[in-house]
A = this chain, B = another copy of it.
Amino acid sequence: MTDTHLTPADIQAHLDNLTKPPGSLGRLEQVAARLCAIQQSLAPRTRPRRLVLFAADHGVVQAGVTAWPSDVTGLMIANIVGGGAASSVFSRVSGTELHLVDVGSVSAPLEPGPFYRAAKIGEGTANLAEEPAMTQAELEAAVAEGRREAERAVADGVRVLATGEMGIGNTTAAACLGCLLTGAPPEDMVGRGAGADDATYARKLQVVQQAVQRAEARRAPQASPEDRAAALAGVCGFEIAAMAGLFEAGAAQGLTLVVDGFIATAAALLAEDRRPGTAQQMIAAHCSAETGHGRMLEALGLTPLLDWALRLGEGTGALLALPLLDAAAAMAGEMATFADAGIAAE
């Protein structure tokens, strides 16, 4: 951060003075401009960088909303920490440190290590199809875990912080939040997650419709601020609240935040709702295959880098996008100007 504020015009003038026809790097120039604006620097940095994954389970799995059982969350936590998951592999190839925090899976914790810790708010949420998924106090506890990770990242010198998740059932919670925070109807926000068949999809849609209806009643204009907050907690997930906390604290500290897929974007909406302006520090990695993701990104004013029909989660989309940020940052900070190269600008 510098004292002098860089305006969009300052940034554009800098980019147009580099040895390329103005605008000829297309979308990459927009990404470079955004990085410059977020970091308030004409030589933005993308390292050191880190991906923090939060894992948790969801009581709503009991309502038959997903093809996979909850114990897959724990097995995937072990797979991620063990280095065999997609996120493990992509973090290695992109040179990104990967941390994982279990904020509430039903599985037994692993041995703590430098890149893994367990900080369970509960053993999964309650079944949001029948009762509030969590209390407001539990939501704040999960948010605090996310804030802690953002502060740790700042202390470690991280410049770009991405976040993602693992949690069987979490597209259901994310769809509820998406409806409540964008105003979209459930049929526009409920998708097939990690592979729901027609019957599973129908149950999931009904669960979301009912949960959103109950939550909307609690969020009515005449409701108290406490009731409004509790309505969101009632459909949230521990990992979603933790990601929101990471975004809030990361933005407050001036970090560049990279948003992954559908569930991380629901967390971004929650963070923006809690701390308006947080989205200004965000870069959206991709628009996923999940119904409703595009609408969420639009509500945040974010343009995704990739449109690759990803639907895995685990921060994989964020990891795929990071090298594109490297190129954008290097363009802004390392290219010669027309004057350097002895070329008369057009």
Contact = CB atoms under 8 A, between A and B. Distances in A.
Given A21-B312, A326-B93, A72 B331 contact: no
Contacts of A327: 89-90, 93-94, 319-320
A78 B336 CA distance: 11
A300 B90 CA distance: 30
Contact of A341 (B76, B89, B336): B76
B24 A311 contact: yes
A108 interface: no
A27 B90 contact: no
Interface string A45-89: 000000000000000000000011000100110110010111001
A92 B330 contact: yes
A202 interface: no
B346 A68 contact: yes
Given A289-B26, A311-B26, A324-B320, A90 B342 contact: no
Contacts of A323: 93-94, 323-324, 326
A340 interface: yes
A343 B72 contact: yes
A28 interface: yes
A194 interface: yes
A335 interface: yes
Interface in A305-327: 307-312, 316, 319-320, 323-324, 326-327
A14 B1 CA distance: 47
Nearest to A84: B336
Given A24-B311, A26-B308, A335 B289 contact: no
A156 interface: no
A310 B26 contact: yes
A209 to B, nearest CB: 24
A82 B289 CA distance: 42
A25 interface: yes
A89 B331 contact: yes
A334 interface: yes
A22 B192 CA distance: 13
Contact of A21 (B20, B24, B195): B195
A98 to B, nearest CB: 14
Interface in A278-311: 289, 307-311
B89 A330 contact: yes
Given A75-B343, A82-B336, A89-B327, 6 more contacts: A19-B85, A20-B86, A20-B312, A75-B342, A84-B335, A320-B327
